[in-house]
Structure 1
């Protein structure tokens, strides 16, 4: 790692201050932070930051000391990143998509008509990975009688992709959120689309969403939107609390200034989860959240006035049977 020179340090910090002042979604806070970085630079706080990782840590500490905004940072990347706007995050998204089957790493049947669909580490932009991974996952779980959507390791997501996911879990187009953009003062509504490929799970069957302290940004947006619409029961622990969408600017081959430039406004709550996280409906240790949600889902399936094989299996599982009872010989 090439040591940073004093002129480089000054240039990186000064540019981070400028971007924060001009673009941060809360102008008054952005101005204060820019002044703070300039003061800290003049005081020599960053003089000992001989490497990009140390400088990124120090500047991020100063930015978040006032804002408490975890999206606002000077982010260090181990790999060199493109110099284009948002180039760092796009490069990272490509790597993560390749390692996670397009963000749908797990689909499974849990028993009693309950399916589990895991989205991680990100709800990827549809323009980057296409809709196929999400389509395949949701088409597989559509016939289930209850669904557990596992977002415990979901640390981000693109707003349009989040809306696309929501459409599989709702019956009709729904206003999910409004994004306010500081740069032009505009408000843009995001709705779940009227059409999705293949069958929907729908808006009536039991839905449980798992979250953890690691759940962040777009992962939180999905959980929060479904919770506020009264569509899902959220299970786990309070999430990370990042609601302000950001842009990325490469200031060094390994340093990216990430600046929140807009904020989410939920049409039901009138606010968002920034800084406070999402409060689960059922609070439990994330390690236990799947078992807790599965048992709740089994109870919901068993309580239905139906005589389906899944309902019968759910009743047996709730009664403590280790394995579903089977009549006759194997098929």
Structure 2
């Protein structure tokens, strides 16, 4: 039997403070958050023996200043490797294998309307390009397309661009990322060529969202909405626009620190805090039926 690793809250908090100070995309906010953590540590608020409870307490304090939902101390039930980002990659790989590479459903509805569900994540492109290309190529023959992101929790911005490339006709500026490291900006564009067939930029396109839709999945919905390419149907999304990195602080604890922020070339802002606002608001459970009806109406017209 493996002996549980003893939890020492102070070193976890000290390392979280260091990471915030060095990497958080908003240095001024980092200073405020570290002040909260130091005060709470001195008060004994983190004097707990359970790693999951510590993660809950610290996450609440990390998000108390600006409600950045990417800023977290995450608990992992299984021990995690010490390499930077290892915890996230290990968990993603298990989900990738269990979800047909992130495209668990391709379905043809009445009237020539296809549904492609992308869930539970937009996995790293070097993993996901083949299954996503297969799903989108199969759906490319449809008269209208519904992309279901209602249970998608985020993922890789490069995969966002890959999916958009199948849904547009021309190379298009999708998003710009500002990175604190080096004070630099990096543009994201759709690709001029895709493997397989392209659904293209003219046929009716609908994107389904819920209050679970998060991060890179929000970017996919937001980019297509801002370009006027898709109609978003469903609920407002969670509101996380800051890409983050993960650091292992304890065998069961990972700090995720946002290191950049998105800047959309159309709106010149992003969906942080507000979420993506649907063009056709409705309960997430009704979104597929609503989008199907909209698609059929559009095709008749």
- TM-score category of the 2 structures, normalised to the smaller one: over 0.9
Which of the numbers 178, 195, 198 marks the counterpart of 1:197?
195
Contact 1:238 1:277 in 2 (8 A): yes
- Any unmatched runs of 5+ in structure 1? 304-331
* Counterpart in the other structure of 1:275: 273
Q: CA deviation at 1:3?
A: 6.6
Contact 1:108 1:115 in 2 (8 A): yes
Contact 2:231 2:279 in 1 (8 A): yes
Distance in 2 of aligned mates of 1:59 and 1:20: 13
Distance in 1 of aligned mates of 2:183 and 2:287: 40
What is the RMSD of the two structures over their aligned residues, measured on CA atoms? 1.0
Contact 1:3 1:51 in 2 (8 A): no
1:107 maps onto 2:109 in alignment = no
Q: CA deviation at 1:43?
A: 1.1
1:295 maps onto 2:286 in alignment = no
TM alignment of 1:198-213, pairs within 5 A: 198-213=196-211
- Any unmatched runs of 5+ in structure 2? none
Contact 1:176 1:267 in 2 (8 A): yes
TM alignment of 1:1-331, pairs within 5 A: 2=4, 4-5=6-7, 8-47=8-47, 49-127=48-126, 129-303=127-301
Distance in 2 of aligned mates of 1:131 and 1:65: 37
Q: CA deviation at 1:2?
A: 3.0
List 4+ stretches of structure 1 deviating above 4 A. none
SS at match of 1:210: strand
Alignment coverage as a number of residue pairs: 299
Distance in 2 of aligned mates of 1:215 and 1:46: 31
Distance in 1 of aligned mates of 2:300 and 2:93: 42
Please identify the structure whose Cα radius of gyration is greater: 1
Q: CA deviation at 1:4?
A: 3.8
Q: CA deviation at 1:35?
A: 1.6
Query: TM-score w.r.t. structure 1 length?
Result: 0.89
* Counterpart in the other structure of 1:325: none
Contact 1:139 1:200 in 2 (8 A): yes
